[in-house]
């Protein structure tokens, strides 16, 4: 097992935002791995669910979800559901890796838990409950790469809805969570929860003492007890906090500010395609209780040379097959991925033209969303149209 290096997730809440809650994540994954964007409508089933490695019990009804996920994997790196819940996860390195806490054993992947939380949780708190209950029952683990069986880790999560957010950090089957109701928060590849803990797994402190990780003296500090680094010092975590402070200073943070943070190369929050762990996909969501939530996806690597395209849940939503990996080979690139890769190699004006299209889309959608009524049918093919326009640009 090697030290993971991937992903940054952010959330900004009122009073720092222009509208509602703004969520963003860069998914940094092994080089060459393709990330697809897929839409799954609401469903009802009594059959067990085959996750990436194991089967679990059915939930009955599931929410409609849109996911950004490695093509080969059942689970998702990030996504949203029809109720306005969004989730992203991070790899974390902990000192609790034996027996039922061993991340190399095939159990539920952190990415499986992301998808399960979205499919089964109607609020951020409900999604937190889904994830923690399944974590305690089944544990987490298994290879997180299609090509590297030793790439395994524990996970942290950022879960948000239009009113609140939760940071959930885990070590094996144990966990701690902090609720965020205002301001901003970010997570990277280090534990960040210290002594302020709003919810936790039963017997957490007793387990830590039984393993010799805590002497029982003083205030219990989740990060200090379970992290190999002993403090939340990940460089990208620190840089992300500084970027959030800078971009929220006007108290009018919006999706374009999150685009800028996720495109920041200096901090290595944005990683180019030739990195060992490039940013393979990116998501930004604006979550609101009074207007439709909007979810923006690149569906292509390196957001600094990609464009964000919007999706809104509507009664008959459909998306383009150009962001879906072929069924006969789920490790193969989808159409948009291939065309984008060729365009990056060639260079030229296409990226600046597409960036102008993105800016126009942001402005036009802002005007429409602000005045739309209950009928959301005009958004049924929103993401599909934007993807197919991008494909035409590349061809």
Hey, CA dihedral for 26, 28, 31, 36, is it positive or negative?
negative
Tell me the C-alpha distance between 128 and 165, whole Å: 10
- For residue 85, the cross-strand partners are none
Q: Report which DSSP code applies to 389.
A: H
Cβ 262 vs Cβ 216: under 8 Å: no
Catalytic annotation present for 386:
no
Tell me the C-alpha distance between 158 and 94, whole Å: 18
Query: Count of CB atoms within 10 A of residue 60's CB?
Result: 10
SS3 285: strand
Cβ 270 vs Cβ 240: under 8 Å: no
**Structure tokens that stand for 240 in this block:** 């992300």
Query: Count of CB atoms within 10 A of residue 165's CB?
Result: 24
Please pick, among 7, 51, 325, 361, the residue that the annotation labels catalytic. 7
Cβ 310 vs Cβ 283: under 8 Å: no
Helix/strand/coil (H, E, C) string of 314-360?
A: CCCCCCCHHHCCCCCCCCCCCHHHHHHHHHHHHCCCHHHHHHHHHHH
Cβ 135 vs Cβ 56: under 8 Å: no
Instruction: Give the residue numbers annotated as catalytic, written as ranges.
Output: 7
């Amino acid at each position: 097992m090697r030290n993971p290096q991937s992903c940054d997730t952010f959330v900004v809440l009122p009073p720092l935002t222009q509208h509602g809650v703004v969520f963003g994540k860069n998914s940094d994954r092994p080089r060459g791995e393709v990330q697809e964007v897929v839409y799954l409508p609401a469903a009802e089933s009594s059959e067990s669910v085959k996750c990436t490695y194991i089967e679990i019990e059915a939930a009955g009804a599931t929410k409609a979800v849109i996911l950004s996920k490695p093509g080969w994997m059942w689970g998702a790196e990030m996504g949203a559901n029809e109720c306005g819940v969004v989730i992203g996860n991070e790899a974390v390195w902990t000192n609790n890796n034996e027996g039922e806490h061993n991340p190399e054993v095939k159990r539920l992947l952190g990415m499986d838990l992301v998808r399960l939380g979205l499919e089964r949780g109607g609020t951020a708190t409900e999604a937190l409950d889904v994830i923690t209950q399944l974590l305690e029952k089944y544990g987490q683990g298994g290879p997180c790469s299609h090509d590297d069986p030793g790439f395994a880790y524990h996970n942290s999560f950022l879960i948000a809805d239009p009113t609140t957010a939760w940071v959930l950090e885990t070590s094996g089957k144990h966990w701690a969570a902090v609720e965020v109701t205002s301001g901003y928060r970010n997570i990277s590849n280090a534990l960040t929860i210290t002594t302020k803990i709003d919810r936790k797994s039963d017997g957490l402190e007793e387990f830590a003492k039984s393993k010799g990780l805590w002497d029982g003296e003083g205030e219990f500090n989740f990060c200090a007890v379970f992290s190999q680094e002993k403090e939340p010092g990940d460089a990208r975590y620190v840089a992300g906090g500084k970027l959030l402070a800078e971009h929220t200073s006007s108290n009018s943070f919006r999706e374009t500010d999150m685009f800028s943070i996720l495109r920041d190369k200096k901090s290595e929050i944005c990683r180019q395609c030739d990195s060992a762990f490039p940013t393979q996909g990116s998501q930004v969501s604006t979550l609101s209780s009074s207007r439709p939530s909007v979810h923006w996806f690149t569906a292509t690597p390196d957001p600094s040379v990609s464009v964000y395209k919007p999706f809104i849940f509507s009664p008959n939503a459909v998306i383009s097959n150009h962001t879906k990996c072929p069924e006969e080979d789920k490790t193969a690139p989808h159409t948009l991925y291939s065309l984008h890769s060729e365009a990056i190699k060639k260079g030229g004006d296409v990226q600046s033209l597409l960036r102008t299209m993105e800016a126009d889309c942001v402005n036009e959608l802002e005007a429409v969303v602000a005045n739309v009524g209950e009928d959301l049918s005009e958004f049924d093919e929103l993401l599909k149209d934007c993807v197919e326009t991008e494909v035409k640009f590349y061809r």
